Amino acid sequence: MMQRLLFLVLACGVGLVSASGHQFALDHAPINLRDKASLQRGAQLFANYCQGCHSLQFMRYRRLAEDSGMVDESGNVLTTLVKDNLMFSVDKIGDTMLTAMQADDAKKWFASIPPPDLSLTARKNGADWLYTYLRAFYKDETRPWGVNNAVFDNVAMPHVLVGLQGVQMPVYKENEHGKKVIEKLELQTPGLLPPEEYNKRVADLVNFLVYVSEPGQLTRQQIGVWVVMFLIVMSLLAYFLKRAYWKDVH
């Protein structure tokens, strides 16, 4: 009876998900936070393409530099390198990665919805969402910026990376309910980068944003290995101690 009830609950859940309408399939984002070169490339892309509108208000330049290897042999941050390549709106290496766009201007230019801060977007939406989103823009003459997005319908953001990716067109199909949905996107006009290269650059950017969402991730996991190993040993020792005391009981 228990199994039948469990099956019923699960079946209802599955039924619910498939009935909720078409969702553009998310691709798996290749995340590797140990790849410091990737983090640096992602930071560079962010500074040059995204930071004009988006801030990373919780990310300090100094920490980014330390964690992504922008340091000399003694481990000192290469301040000039960081300032020249990544710092266009603030002065000090300890400052956070703010955007130069003023809040009032942002409200005016983007119809009261200013471009959001992206510090925690990777935790909120997930790496796969970001990776697919940045590659899912397509031409749509009806939109203010001339583009729409298969992952985020009617998004207010222009396709900043269109120069690199090129212009995509949607290919439609009919879903189970007879509604017209996007099946896939096809490259109509090539950009500066071939698709595989563009995907790699986007992967770097998403890698960087995943890092920004929780800079201490790698440290957390590294410490965790030792903590858990220690506790497993402690549990074993505790068990034998318990057994020794309880031998005369029972």
Partner 1 sequence: MSKLLNWVDARFPLTKLWNEHVGQYYTPKNFNFWYYFGSLALFILVSQILTGIWLTMSYNPTEEGAFASVEHIMRDVEWGWLIRYLHAVGASLFFVVIYLHMFRGLLYGSYKAPRELVWLLGMFIYVTLMAEAFFGYLLPWGQMSFWGAKVITELFGAIPVIGEDLVVWIRGDYGVSGATLNRFFALHVIAVPLIIVGLVVLHIMALHEVGSNNPDGIEIKKVKDNNGNPVDGVPFHPYFTVKDFFGLMVFLTIFSLIVFFFPEMGGYFLEHSNFDAANFLVTPEHIAPVWYFTPFYAMLRAVPHEFLGVVTMGAGVAIFFVLPWLDRCPVRSVRYRSNFYKWLLVVFAVTFVGLGVLGTLPVDPMLTVLARIFTAVYFLFFLLMPIYTSFEKTKPVPERVTD
Residue 59 beta carbon to partner 1: minimum distance, rounded to whole angstroms:
8
Cα 61 to Cα 12, 38, 45, 169, 232, distances in angstroms: 48, 16, 15, 38, 38
Contacts of 180 (CB under 8 A, 6+ apart): 172, 173, 174
CA distance 23 to 125: 14
CA distance 43 to 82: 10
23 binds partner 1 (CB under 8 A): no
Residues numbered 83-112 forming contacts with partner 1, rule: CB under 8 A: none
Residue 5 beta carbon to partner 1: minimum distance, rounded to whole angstroms:
5
177 binds partner 1 (CB under 8 A): no
Contacts of 69 (CB under 8 A, 6+ apart): 36, 37, 39, 40
Q: What is the CA radius of gyration of the chain?
A: 24
Q: Which two tokens stand for residue 133?
A: 């989103």
232 binds partner 1 (CB under 8 A): yes
Binding to partner 1 by CB under 8 A, coded x per residue (else -) over 192-221, reads ---------------------xxxx---xx
Residues numbered 26-55 forming contacts with partner 1, rule: CB under 8 A: none
Q: Which is nearer to partner 1, 49 or 58 (CB)?
A: 58
249 binds partner 1 (CB under 8 A): yes
Q: Which residues bind partner 1 (CB under 8 A)?
A: 1-2, 5-6, 8-9, 12-13, 15-16, 57-58, 60, 63, 119-120, 123-126, 213-216, 220-221, 223-225, 227-228, 231-232, 234-235, 238-239, 241-242, 245-246, 249-250
